[in-house]
Structure 1
Amino acid sequence: MSSTIAGLRKTIDSAQDLHAVVRTMKALAASSIIEYEQSVHALDDYYRTVQLGLGVCIRNGGDAVLPLKHHQGVAAVVVFGSDQGLVGRFNDAVAHQAISSFGNSPHTRFWAVGERASEPLKDAGLTVDRLFGVPVSVSAIGLLVTEILGHYEAAFSRGEINQLHVAYNKAGSGVAFAPLAEKVLPLDENWRKTVSACPWPSGTLPEEIGTGPATLSAFVREFLFVSLFRACAASLASENASRLAAMQRADKNIDSLLGELTSQFHRMRQDGIDEELFDVVAGYEALNEG
């Protein structure tokens, strides 16, 4: 009996240690969500500013020199996932979105951000041409985006790729995340019409600084950068939201398990005490009868 109680006590101690780890991960995920969501909201405002600048350039005739207008060709699809687990169906969902949106074309190349994002792509029989590490902070996102754009520009200059798409999870209402697929390039006619239709927010007419093509090129580069940055930040926010939800479920399950184990421990200890008392009473009665 004592060995059984000791084993149960060890199990309870292990469960309590795991409980502490889960609660720490919950706190880290919750704080990370706030950081990445703030970044996404800030980027929304900046993205709008870049769109306004592009609209001015296009309305002034700059669209004649817009690059990357190809409608056909090889596309690179950047799939934003995670390097770490404990995120539920986070990686499976974004991979499925990428496959359903872009996987039917034999001219599609998949670039995965996160080791775990590449696994469902490979399981579907697709080749992951490039694998990038997941940023661990907002400040590291810019380095990743610069690296992705560097690979894209090099492939474009060699004539290997002329389209760029992204697939990522975004925090949704009522759920931890919702997978999305978006086109970043080419900058086609529909894109130009949408951007050029953006109304200027004030009564003061804007002016371009410098030459039109140079200004437009600078805005296009910034548009590409912020598009990828925003997708990555949204993915990281939803990843941590998914992890927080998983840790909340684990926290609840461990609480329930600890309750059951503690009750079992008390019952076994009480049974042991009762058994020892019965032995003492029986011994006492045997002595009196003797």
Structure 2
Amino acid sequence: MFRLGASQVARSAGAQARNYATLREIEMRLKSIKNIEKITKTMKIVASTRLNKAQRAMTASRVFNKSDSEFYHNTEPESTDDSKTLLVVVSSDKGLCGSIHSQISKAARRRFEELKGNADLVTVGEKVKAQLLRTHADNLKLSFSGVGKEAPNFYEVSLIADEINKLGQYENIEILYNKFVSGVSFEPSQFSVFAADAIEKAPGLSKYELEGEDTATTLSEFSLANSILSAMAEGYASEISARRNAMDNASKNAGDMINSYTILYNRSRQAVITNELVDIITGASSLD
């Protein structure tokens, strides 16, 4: 009887050790999930605060881009299908914002296939650069990093446009970006920028009184910078909105996991207490 009680005590000791280890693991997991929930809630608050500023910058950029659109609509310049196209893909360096970077990368790949490979690539942002390098490394001519931390300004954009102009003359330039649709949605869109030769040959250019020999070149360079500014402002607002939604969903998922692990922890703790009572009663019975 004494040997049987000793073996039962040994088994119960091993069971208690396993239960205590399981409780400690659950407790550590629960603590880590609570810390993650605090981080995601803080990031959601920060994104919500920045979204108003991003939307104001986006609204201001749309005013300038509207003038470009009206100019191209009135002059009706034509793109050349045979010439090589420059695709400027606008994104940012930051993550944790859902599928915003992968969507614009997929749109860039589709457009590249439509052009049958007759295009060069320029990336604005490390995220889209990393994705396009996997499939179109040979076509990547220029990339920019350190963008998307704040709302874009024209000085930053003009420096980017100057570097792009140093690549040479492209008859067709297309800027791919994420257009802000609403607080919960965005869609890949594009701007078309025409070269100076296309503007000079535009049939509707006579509607405007232009002076100077380099007017078409100036218009083309300004339109490129203006379009990049609008694309970056739209992309920045889309990114902030997507990050806010992603952090909101992450906080909700963390809350659900906390509830599940809390129930699991309480049940495991009750099971440990029950096992301890059973061991005490069994040990007491074996001594009688």
Q: What range describes the TM-score normalised by the shorter chain of this pair?
A: 0.7 to 0.9
Q: Deviations over 1:108-164 (max 9, x none)?
A: 1101112221233233345321111123112x54344223211232233xx4x3432
Equivalent in 107, 119, 144 of residue 108 of structure 1: 119
Please give the alpha-carbon distance, in whole angstroms, between the structure 2 residues aligned to 1:245 and 1:79: 23
- The corresponding residue for 1:261 is 261
Please give the alpha-carbon distance, in whole angstroms, between the structure 1 residues aligned to 2:200 and 2:213: 22
Please give the alpha-carbon distance, in whole angstroms, between the structure 2 residues aligned to 1:230 and 1:44: 6
Please give the alpha-carbon distance, in whole angstroms, between the structure 2 residues aligned to 1:191 and 1:174: 41
**Structure 2 vs 1, CA of residues 195 and 247 (structure 1 numbering), >3 Å: closer, same or farther?**
farther
Please give the alpha-carbon distance, in whole angstroms, between the structure 1 residues aligned to 2:235 and 2:207: 29
5 Å matches for 1:242-257?
Answer: 242-257=242-257
- The corresponding residue for 2:154 is 142
Of the two, which has the highest radius of gyration? 2
- The structural deviation recorded for 1:18 is 1.0
- The structural deviation recorded for 1:179 is 0.5
- The structural deviation recorded for 1:189 is 6.4
**What SS does the corresponding residue of 1:40 show, helix, strand or coil?**
helix
Residue 96 of structure 1 pairs with residue 106 of structure 2: yes
5 Å matches for 1:45-124?
Answer: 45-48=63-66, 71=80, 72-103=82-113, 104-124=115-135
5 Å matches for 1:139-218?
Answer: 140-156=152-168, 159=169, 161-173=170-182, 175-186=184-195, 188=198, 212-213=211-212, 216=215
Equivalent in 21, 35, 40 of residue 3 of structure 1: 21
Q: Deviations over 1:147-203 (max 9, x none)?
A: 3211232233xx4x34321001112248521011221223646996789889xxxxx
**Structure 2 vs 1, CA of residues 193 and 237 (structure 1 numbering), >3 Å: closer, same or farther?**
farther
Please give the alpha-carbon distance, in whole angstroms, between the structure 1 residues aligned to 2:268 and 2:207: 75
**What SS does the corresponding residue of 2:212 show, helix, strand or coil?**
helix
Please give the alpha-carbon distance, in whole angstroms, between the structure 2 residues aligned to 1:172 and 1:84: 20
Q: Deviations over 1:68-121 (max 9, x none)?
A: 987353322110123233233222221222232244344411011122212332
User: Which deviates more from structure 2 when the two are superposed, residues 10-19 or residues 124-133?
Assistant: 124-133
**What SS does the corresponding residue of 1:43 show, helix, strand or coil?**
helix
Kept after mapping to 2: 8 A contact 1:50/1:219: no
User: Which deviates more from structure 2 when the two are superposed, residues 275-284 or residues 20-29?
Assistant: 275-284
**Structure 2 vs 1, CA of residues 150 and 258 (structure 1 numbering), >3 Å: closer, same or farther?**
same
Please give the alpha-carbon distance, in whole angstroms, between the structure 2 residues aligned to 1:94 and 1:271: 52
| TM-score, normalising length: structure 2 | 0.75
Equivalent in 143, 151, 172 of residue 131 of structure 1: 143
- The structural deviation recorded for 1:32 is 2.7
Superposed CA RMSD in Å reads: 3.6
**Partner letter of residue 30 of structure 1?**
S
- The corresponding residue for 1:20 is 38
- The corresponding residue for 2:56 is 38
Once the two structures are aligned, what percentage of the paired residues are identical?
Answer: 22
Could you list the runs of 5+ residues in structure 2 that have no partner in the other structure? 1-18
- The structural deviation recorded for 1:236 is 1.3
**Partner letter of residue 238 of structure 1?**
S
| TM-score, normalising length: structure 1 | 0.75
Kept after mapping to 1: 8 A contact 2:78/2:202: no
Could you list the runs of 5+ residues in structure 1 that have no partner in the other structure? 199-207
Please give the alpha-carbon distance, in whole angstroms, between the structure 1 residues aligned to 2:206 and 2:262: 67
Aligned residues: 263
Kept after mapping to 2: 8 A contact 1:75/1:164: yes
Please give the alpha-carbon distance, in whole angstroms, between the structure 2 residues aligned to 1:35 and 1:195: 37
Please give the alpha-carbon distance, in whole angstroms, between the structure 2 residues aligned to 1:141 and 1:43: 9
**What SS does the corresponding residue of 2:225 show, helix, strand or coil?**
helix
